[in-house]
């Protein structure tokens, strides 16, 4: 791994850590700004780097660094929100792949579309894990784990697409 690539990955891991701490907890799953940083990694980094950022973040939390919204350590696997962390590992590289394949010219409308298309990569594992850990009926898991987060997530898609577009114009270093 080249130092430039390592620096980009480390920067986005730190961004994940910081945005995880910007949270509100109103149910079993905290509402954080972290999906903005995960999406930024997806928009801005090459596919494998975007995956590496999320995998590194999750592994760091699991080995005990208190970097998740609820802390860290192996007990995090028993948290109702752990499925969303697994979703990060899927969503960022999915977004990166779609961004490079279908939006090389960096069109804002396509960036928003990619943000929408990537939502299942986050919410399917998140809701499924929530249902499993809390032993909820599917309807309750979907209402609490997807519907409750839909509007905030749509706002964060707009925010992350806007930030990514501006960052791409400012610094080609981010493009990989």
Query: What CATH number does the domain containing 77 carry?
Result: 1.10.1760.20
Is the residue at 38 inside a domain?
Answer: yes
pLDDT of residue 171: 66
pLDDT of residue 99: 94
Cα 129 to Cα 133: distance, rounded to the nearest angstrom: 6
List the one residue out of 7, 13, 29, 26 whose CA is nearest residue 125: 29
pLDDT of residue 34: 95
Half-sphere exposure of 169 (CA within 13 A, CB side): 8
Structure tokens at 144: 């609490």
Q: Which domain holds residue 13?
A: 3-169
pLDDT of residue 106: 84
pLDDT of residue 94: 97
List the one residue out of 71, 78, 116 whose CA is nearest residue 98: 116
The pLDDT tens digits of the residues spanning 128-155 come to 999 999 999 999 999 999 999 999 999 9
| pTM for the whole structure | 0.92
What's the structural domain count of the chain?
Answer: 1
Is the residue at 46 inside a domain?
Answer: yes
Is the residue at 157 inside a domain?
Answer: yes
Is the residue at 175 inside a domain?
Answer: no
Is the residue at 29 inside a domain?
Answer: yes
Is the residue at 79 inside a domain?
Answer: yes
pLDDT of residue 103: 86
In sequence order, which residues have a C-beta less than 8 Å from that of residue 18 and are 6 or more positions away?
37
Is the residue at 164 inside a domain?
Answer: yes
The answer to whether the CB of 109 falls within 8 A of the CB of 101 is no
Cα 118 to Cα 98: distance, rounded to the nearest angstrom: 9
Is the residue at 151 inside a domain?
Answer: yes
pLDDT of residue 174: 54
Q: Which residues of the chain have pLDDT under 50?
A: none
Cα 51 to Cα 107: distance, rounded to the nearest angstrom: 23
């Amino acid at each position: 791994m080249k130092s430039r690539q390592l620096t980009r990955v480390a920067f986005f891991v730190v961004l994940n850590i910081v945005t995880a701490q910007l949270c509100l907890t109103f149910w079993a799953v905290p509402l954080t700004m972290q999906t903005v940083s995960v999406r930024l990694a997806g928009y801005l980094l090459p596919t494998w780097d975007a995956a590496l950022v999320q995998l590194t973040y999750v592994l760091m939390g699991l080995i005990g660094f208190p970097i998740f919204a609820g802390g860290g350590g192996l007990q995090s696997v028993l948290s109702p929100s752990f499925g969303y962390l697994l979703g990060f590992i899927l969503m960022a590289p999915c977004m990166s792949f779609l961004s490079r394949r279908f939006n090389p010219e960096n069109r804002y409308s396509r960036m928003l579309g990619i943000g929408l298309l990537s939502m299942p990569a986050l919410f399917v594992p998140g809701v499924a894990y929530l249902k499993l850990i809390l032993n909820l009926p599917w309807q309750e898991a979907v209402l609490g784990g997807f519907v409750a987060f839909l509007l905030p997530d749509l706002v964060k898609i707009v925010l992350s697409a806007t930030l990514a577009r501006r960052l791409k114009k400012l610094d080609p270093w981010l493009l990989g």
